[in-house]
Structure 1
Amino acid sequence: MARQELAHYLRERRAARRPHEIGLAATGTVRRTPGLRREEVAELAHMSVDYYTRLEQARGPRPSARILDGLARALRLTPAERSHLFRLAGTSAPPGLSAVRRVRPHVARMLERLPETGALVTDATYDVLAWNPLARTLLHADLGGGTTNLARRRFLSRERLPESSSAEEFGHIVVARLRRAADRYPHDPRLAALLTELHTGSAEFRQIWQTRPVHAPGHRTKTLDHPEAGALRLNCDVLLVPEDDQEVVLMTADPGSPAARTLRRLAGRTT
C-alpha cells in the first residue's frame, strides 16, 4: 500500500509542476499534458528514466534518502511536501543543509495585523527575519537591515537588547535552541561561524553550552526595562512555524494594565 501511495504522490506532484516553474525553457513542442515529463524529472533528480518510471508504477525498490532528496529538489517540493514524501517512503526526512532564512508571506502579513503587539520571526539560528514596528520599538534596536541576531546581541554586543527580569533565562533558551540547530544543520556555514564567534567571545555562552540546557518554547512573563518607556511587564508567547523551523515571538500586555496603555501609545507613535 505504501508503494502505491508514494507512486500516486509522485505522479500528482509531477502533473502539478509546470516547466517554467523549475526553469525549463519552452521547446516549441506541444505537450499532451501540462505537467512535467518523466524524463525531465529523472534528469533533474539525477537518476535514470527507467528507475523513476518504476517508482511511479510502484515497482521500484524502497528509495534511499539521497533519491528522495533528489526528487524533492526536482519537483520543487515545499518543506512540508518534502516531509510528506519521506513519510510515504517509510522514513523520516533529514533536516535541510541549512536553516530556512525566508519568511512565508502569510506569516509576514500576520505581523502587520497586530498593531498593539510586538511581533517578530526568528530562524533556527536566532536571526531576526521579519518584525513589525512595535517590535523594533520595544527592542530599541535597528532591525531595518535584517542583520540582527538575538544570540549575538545577547552574548556579544555592547548594544544589548533592553534588560529584562528574564535575561539569564533567555541566555539558556538561546543556547538550547542553538544546540538543536547544530544537531539539525551540521553543515550550515553561517551557523558554524556564529557558534565559533559565540564560543570565542563569551565565557558565559561557553559555560551555558557545557550544561546542555533543554527548553521548550511557550509562555513567559518578563519585565522589560525599556530606555524610554521604563519598566514594562509583558507576556512573551512563541508560535512555531514547524515546516521552516522558525518561531514567531509575540510580546503583549495584560488588558487594562499600565504596560498595555504604553504599548498602545508606542504603537500609535510607530504608525
Structure 2
Amino acid sequence: MARAELGRFLRDRREALRPGDVGLPAGPRRRTPGLRREEVAGLACMSVEYYARLEQARGPQPSRRILDALTGALRLNPAERSHLFRLAETAPAAPPGPSRRVRPYVAGLLNRVDAAAVVTSAAYDVIACNPLASALLTGLRAQPNLARRRFLGGPVHGGGAEEFGHIAVARLRAAADRYPHDAHLAALLSDLRASEEFRHVWDLNPVRAPGHRSKTLAHPRLGPLRVDCDVLEVPDDDQQVVFITAEPGSPSARALRELARGA
C-alpha cells in the first residue's frame, strides 16, 4: 500500500510541474501535462527505468540519497519532502538549519498591510520587515535577533515581556530539536545561556503557541507604546509573520501613524 501511495505521489507531482518550473525548455507541444519521466530521472541523476519502477510501485526501497534527489528534482517544499519520506517509510535526515529565504508572496505581504510587520526564522532572526517595523523596532540592523534583544538587551520593562520570554524559549527549544546540527542556532543558544532568566525559563520547558498577544514596547522617541502582536505561521519554511498594531484611536495608534509618515 505504501509503495502504491509513493508511486501516486511521484506521478501527481511530476504531472503538476511544467518544464519552466525546473529550468527546462518547453520544447514542442506535449500530448500530456507535466514533466516526462525521463526529465525527472535526468534531474534526479537516476535511470529512467529505475524512476519508472518507483512510480509503478515496483521499485526497491529508495534510499535517503534517492529521496533527497527526488526532492530536488520535483521541487518539493519541506512539508512535501517530509510526506515523501513518510511514504517511503524512511526517517528523513534533519534539515540543515532554519530557512532564511523569504518567499516572494510573503515579502509582498509586508508592504501591503497597514501595520508594522516582520518575518522571523525559527531561530528568531528578523529576516524581513517593512519600513514601519524598522522604525518601531529600532536597532534591527545592529541586532536582528529578537531573542537576543529580549534576554541580552539589558533590563526588560513593560507588560508582556515575561510572556514573550516564555514564547521565545518554547520556539527555540522546538528549533533545537528540529535543527540539531545548525551552528548558528547552537551559537545563539550558547550566548543566551549567559542570561540567568533565559536559563531559568529554559529549565521550565514552557509550552506556548503563537497567537494574539499584547505587550508594551519602549520606543526611544515616542516612549512606551501598547501594541498587539498577531502571528501568521509559514509552516513550509518554519517561519512566522508578526503583525504589530495598536487599538484604533489610542495614543499608541496615533504614535504608529506618526512613525508611518516618517518611515
TM-score range, shorter chain: 0.7 to 0.9
Matched residue SS, 2:233: strand
**Matched AA of 2:261:** G
Q: Who is 1:69 aligned against?
A: 68
1:129 is the counterpart of 2:119: no
Separation in 1, partners of 2:188, 2:252: 34
Identity score, percent = 60
TM-score by length of 1: 0.81
CA deviations over 1:156-213 (Å, ceiling 9, x no partner):
245x8x84312222222111111000001111121112112222x2222222211111
Separation in 2, partners of 1:80, 1:215: 22
Q: Who is 1:156 aligned against?
A: 152
**Matched AA of 1:99:** P
Q: Who is 2:171 aligned against?
A: 177
**Matched AA of 2:186:** A
Q: Who is 1:219 aligned against?
A: 212
CA deviations over 1:207-237 (Å, ceiling 9, x no partner):
2211111110111111222221122211111
Q: Who is 1:57 aligned against?
A: 56
After TM superposition, list the pairs within 5 Å mapping 1:236-251 onto structure 2.
236-251=229-244
Q: Who is 2:138 aligned against?
A: 140
CA separation of 1:51 and 1:263: change in aligned 2, threshold 3 A: same
CA separation of 1:2 and 1:164: change in aligned 2, threshold 3 A: same
Separation in 1, partners of 2:21, 2:261: 45
Contact 2:22 2:73 in 1 (8 A): no
1:186 is the counterpart of 2:183: no
CA separation of 1:169 and 1:44: change in aligned 2, threshold 3 A: same
**Matched AA of 2:7:** A
Separation in 1, partners of 2:173, 2:11: 38
CA separation of 1:47 and 1:140: change in aligned 2, threshold 3 A: same
Give the CA deviation at 1:72. 0.5
In structure 1, stretches of 5+ residues that fail to align are none
**Matched AA of 1:140:** T
Count of paired positions: 259
In structure 2, stretches of 5+ residues that fail to align are none
Contact 2:94 2:180 in 1 (8 A): no
Contact 2:37 2:52 in 1 (8 A): no
Give the CA deviation at 1:123. 0.5
Task: State the Cα RMSD in Å.
Answer: 3.1
Give the CA deviation at 1:92. 7.7
Aligned partner (choices 201, 216, 219) of residue 208 of structure 1? 201
CA separation of 1:191 and 1:17: change in aligned 2, threshold 3 A: farther
**Matched AA of 1:242:** P
Give the CA deviation at 1:260. 1.3
Q: Who is 2:9 aligned against?
A: 9
CA separation of 1:269 and 1:50: change in aligned 2, threshold 3 A: same
**Matched AA of 1:10:** L
Matched residue SS, 2:248: coil
**Matched AA of 2:99:** V
Separation in 1, partners of 2:103, 2:20: 23
